[in-house]
A and B are shown apart, each in its own frame.
Chain A
C-alpha cells in the first residue's frame, strides 16, 4: 500500500505490473495461485514454513529467510554522531543517534518516485523510551523520581524520527555512511510548524511560542503513512502520558481529561521542563496529538503538524488517491472506545510537481465513522456550524472542532471501537483493513456488530468496502457510506476466534493486531502488540500473514517472532517485495527487567549492553519475494 501510493503519480499501471512480475508475483488472485499448487491441501497462498510459535530470548523467522539487524538504538544517524557509549550517554549524542523504540518504518526509494528496491531512505519513528533499560541503576518503580536532568534530556532526544539512507549489497543491507539525507527529528531540538485551521489559534499559544505556530518536538510517534507525493506522515499518539499537573487547575480541564491527562506522568520530564507541567503551560498538550508531514528527500525541510486532520491519539495516517486526484487519509484513535477517522482533501494532487502538494492536507473534511448493524457504515463530517458542532456546545470555530476532535465525534454519534490502530487500504482489492487491538473494558451491554465481543482481549480485524471497490478497483473512498464485515476475531478458538478453519492445522493464532501492510499480491501482513499479555498468552508478538481473497481467506500464519518482551511494528516491503523491514520495539520490557538485569540482551547479547530496539531487514535465501 505504502509503496504503490508513494509512487503512483509517476508510474503507469503497466510499470507497476512489470515490477510485480519482476518480483515473481503473479497477476492471478492469491486463491487461484494456491489452487494450482499440486497435491496441497493447505488452501493458503502463503507457502512458507512457520517458525516455532513460542517466546524466546532472540528473534526468529520462517524457514528459508534471513533476518538481519540493520540499525539499533544509539547507532549513528547524523554525519557528526558520536560513537554509542551506553555508560556515558548524553543528550547531545542521542540527538544525533538512532532513537529509542522504533515503530513505523517507511522505505522511500531513491531516486524519488522510482521503484528502486535496493537503495532508498528508511524513515523510522521513535515512539517512547524505557529509562530503566537505557540507564544503569533504575527500576520501573523508581525511575521517575531518580532520573537526572541529563538522562531526561537523553529520553527526550531519543523520541521523534530518524531518516537513514540504506543500500542492499547482495543479500545484505547496509546503512550508507555520511548520507546527505541522514537526519534526526527529535523532541529536544527540532522545530515543527503548525498549519491548517487550528494553526495560530489562542489555544495553541504558549509562553515560548506566542504565535501558536511553532513547536519544539514531536511526541509518541507510533505508526504513520506515505503520501502520494512522496512525503512521510508520522502520527502523534499517547502524548498525554508526558504531562503532569492537575487538569482541574487549568482552563482546559475537559479537554485534558478527555485525552487522559489526570495529574501524574510516567515520565520525569516536567521536573526539568515547565512546558510538560500543565499548571504552568496549560496549552502545551494542545500542540501534540496531530499528524506531522515532512519531506525525507529534502533534509532541510521543516516538518509540519497538519491540524486539518484533527487532534487525537493518532495511531497512523494512511493515504489513498481518488480517481479525481483528491487524497483520503485514514487514521485510528488508539484507545479503548475511541473512533475511526477519515480526511478527504479539498483539492487534487499535482501529479507533475510534487512540491506543489505542500499544503494539500491543510484543506479538506474530517469525518468519523458510525458502524450500523446492517453491515453499513456512515462517515459523519466534523464540520463547525453543522449539527451539534456549534457555539452552544463550546465550539467557536473549526479550530475548536479539530483540537477537541474526540468531543466533536462524541456529539455526532460515532461508534466507540475496540482500539482502532492501523488502517490500511489494500491496493489489490480497494478494501480498507482496520486493526482493532483489544478492549478488555467492553461490557456485554456495550457490544455492537463491528465490536461484537465483551471483554475483547485479543482484538479483531475489520474489512471495509467502499462503493466500487473490488479486484483491481480502488473504489470511491470519499463516499458517505461503506460496507463493513469482520475479517476475523483473534485469539484462540476458545475465545471465539473466527479464522479460516484450516488455521488450526496450517496456521497459528494471534492476539492484538496492531500494524499492517500488504504485499504485491494483496495479502495482509499483520504485526502484533499484546503488551504484558504476551507472557500470559505465551505466544510471541511478531509478523503474521493471511490471504484476504480466495480459498485461503483469513488463514493466518506466523512468519517472524520478536525477542522476549518486545512488540512488532513498522512492517514495510520494498517495491519488489524482496525485503521486508520490521521494527523490534522495547525488547526486554517487563516489570522486573532492568538495564542491569534485563529479560533479554537482544540483539547484541553482550554482558555489558542492555537490549536495544532495532530495525530488522528480512530477505529470502533464494532472493525471491519474502513469504513466497
Chain B
C-alpha cells in the first residue's frame, strides 16, 4: 500500500461515493464503525462500505 491520496493542500483526500454522493472525510473518520479521525480512505478495512447507501469501496473515487 503506497501513500494515501491527498488534496492540493496536502490533507488526506476526500473520497466520494459514486452511487449516492456521500463523502468520506478523513478528518471525521467513521465513528459508527469505530474508524478514528485522520484515517485515510486507503486504510479503511476491506469490508468497509458506504455508510449512506451500503455501496462497497469500489464505488468511491477521489
Contacts and interface: CB of A to CB of B under 8 A. Distances in A.
A266 B18 contact: yes
30 contacts: A140-B18, A140-B59, A140-B61, A141-B61, A143-B18, A144-B16, A238-B20, A240-B21, A241-B20, A241-B21, A260-B21, A260-B22, A260-B23, A264-B14, A264-B15, A264-B16, A265-B16, A266-B16, A266-B61, A336-B51, A336-B52, A438-B54, A440-B54, A531-B19, A531-B20, A532-B19, A532-B54, A532-B56, A589-B19, A591-B18
A128 to B, nearest CB: 9
A263 interface: yes
Interface in A563-601: 589, 591
A335 interface: yes
A532 B61 contact: no
Contacts of A144: 16, 18, 61
Interface in B20-35: 20-23, 25, 32
A441 B21 contact: no
Nearest to A529: B53
Nearest to B14: A264
A15 B27 CA distance: 61
Interface string A242-273: 00000000000000000010111110000000
Contacts of B54: 438, 440, 457, 531-533, 536
Contact of A531 (B15, B16, B55): B55
Nearest to B15: A264
B24 to A, nearest CB: 9
B17 interface: yes
Interface in A19-38: none
Contact of B53 (A265, A443, A531): A531
Contacts of B14: 262-264
Contacts of A457: 54
A438 B54 CA distance: 10
Question: Closest 5 CB pairs between A and B?
Answer: A241-B21, A262-B23, A264-B14, A532-B55, A531-B53
Interface size class of B (residues with CB under 8 A): 20 to 34
Nearest to B52: A336
Contacts of A241: 20-21
Contacts of A238: 20-21
Contacts of A142: 61
Contacts of A536: 54
Contacts of B15: 264
Given A144-B18, A241-B20, 6 more contacts: A265-B16, A440-B49, A457-B54, A531-B19, A531-B54, A532-B55
Interface of B: 14-23, 25, 32, 49, 51-56, 58-59, 61-62
Interface of A: 140-144, 238, 240-241, 260, 262-266, 335-336, 438, 440-441, 443, 457, 531-533, 536, 589, 591
A457 B54 CA distance: 9
B53 A141 contact: no
A266 B52 contact: no
Contacts of A335: 52
A241 B51 CA distance: 15
Contacts of B61: 140-142, 144, 266
B47 to A, nearest CB: 12
Contact of A591 (B25, B32, B58, B62): B58
A411 to B, nearest CB: 22
Contacts of A264: 14-16, 23, 62
B46 to A, nearest CB: 15
Nearest to A532: B55
Nearest to A443: B32
A591 B55 contact: yes
A266 B17 contact: yes
A241 B60 CA distance: 14
Contacts of B49: 440
A440 B61 CA distance: 22
Contact of B25 (A141, A262, A265, A441): A262
Contacts of B51: 336, 440-441
Scoring B14, B25, B49, B52 by chain A CB atoms within 10 A of each residue's CB, the highest score goes to B52
Scoring A143, A336, A440 by chain B CB atoms within 10 A of each residue's CB, the highest score goes to A440
Nearest to A442: B32
B59 A532 contact: yes
A3 B58 CA distance: 42
Contacts of B22: 260
Scoring B15, B20, B62 by chain A CB atoms within 10 A of each residue's CB, the highest score goes to B20
B55 A266 contact: no
Contact of A263 (B19, B25, B58, B59): B25
A143 B51 CA distance: 22
A536 B55 CA distance: 10
Contacts of A266: 16-18, 21, 61
Nearest to B54: A533
A591 B32 CA distance: 25
Contacts of A438: 54
A140 B15 CA distance: 13
B8 to A, nearest CB: 11
Nearest to A455: B32
Contacts of B55: 531-532, 591
A336 B53 CA distance: 10
Nearest to A242: B21
Contacts of B62: 264
A187 to B, nearest CB: 15
